[in-house]
Amino acid sequence: MSRRIDLLRLDYAFSVIVPCLMAVYFGNLNFFDHLDIIGGFLLYAITGNLLNDAIDAKDPKDADTKERVQGYRPKEILAIALVTCVFGTFLFVRTCTQHPVNSVLLALIVAMVVAYCVKLKKWVIINQVVLLVSHVFLPYFMVRIDGDAVSFTPLDWVIILTFFAFAFTGQIVHESIDGDAITRFSLRTQQVIVWVSSFITMGMAILTTWFLWVAAVLEWYIFIPVICIPVGTIYIFRHPKQNTKGVKDVGLILGNIILFYFLVLIIQKMFATP
């Protein structure tokens, strides 16, 4: 049973779900009004992971993927991906009907994820920009548009750029451990990239906290924990060295903690006594 669940890689879904939750929370939206979009992105995340695994399984050097898909043929993995894609797509019908621009954004997301899996994964840095635009920017704005936002405030941009920086740092660490595109650079260059990204993430989190404070938002302090996370990344990469897979697991755990964090904030706001 655990192997079947592992195949779905649900622990990676936070990368696309957290931006949706942030849009709900900071847009003062009702979580249940947009649950179909969030559920759709969860199924799309599974689809993307399965498609990626079906392709990576052909690489004899990718031991992790081969172990995860052991016993499954590519067509079986792709069959599951097709099912999750179909069900996920139908969860987007409402918002695409009510807000036609979301159908355009959704098409862009699908095109970018497919391009990443099939072609762009080996393009250093560019691959992560494409992946994170499809996983962070567009889902956030789809939810905000679904909440009838007619324009996006500077706070919207600062919030989503902060999570983009956080996710970019995590993806670079992920690549460096898995031996993916970033490892074409020397260990020293990888260290510098992680440090620069970490300091940018820290600065963006501080800026977001300041924006929330200036806007007199009661929960202005909620981004303070995000400020602390890059400190750990900087410490881990204090020397140019090859890190263990445990570091990647720590990143996944932190991502899911952030997901839980925003779920708690949203639920608390929904049921708080006026």
Say how many C-beta atoms besides its own lie within 10 A of residue 97's C-beta.
Answer: 10
Domain layout of the chain by residue ranges:
2-271
Whether the predicted pLDDT of 64 surpasses 80: no
pLDDT for position 167 = 87
Helix (H), strand (E) counts: the chain: 13, 0
Say how many C-beta atoms besides its own lie within 10 A of residue 13's C-beta.
Answer: 22
Nearest to 15 by CA among 152, 209, 222, 169: 169
Contact in structure between 139 and 16 (CB atoms under 8 Å): yes
Q: How many residues does the chain have?
A: 274
Distance CA 205, CA 227 (A): 5
Taking the CA of residue 270 as centre, how many other CA atoms within 13 Å lie in the half-sphere pointing to its CB?
Answer: 14
Taking the CA of residue 272 as centre, how many other CA atoms within 13 Å lie in the half-sphere pointing to its CB?
Answer: 8
pLDDT tens, residue by residue, 192-214: 888 998 999 889 888 888 888 88
Domain 2-271 fold is Farnesyl Diphosphate Synthase (1.10.600)
Among 17-21, 129-133, 257-261, which stretch is predicted with the lowest mean pLDDT? 129-133
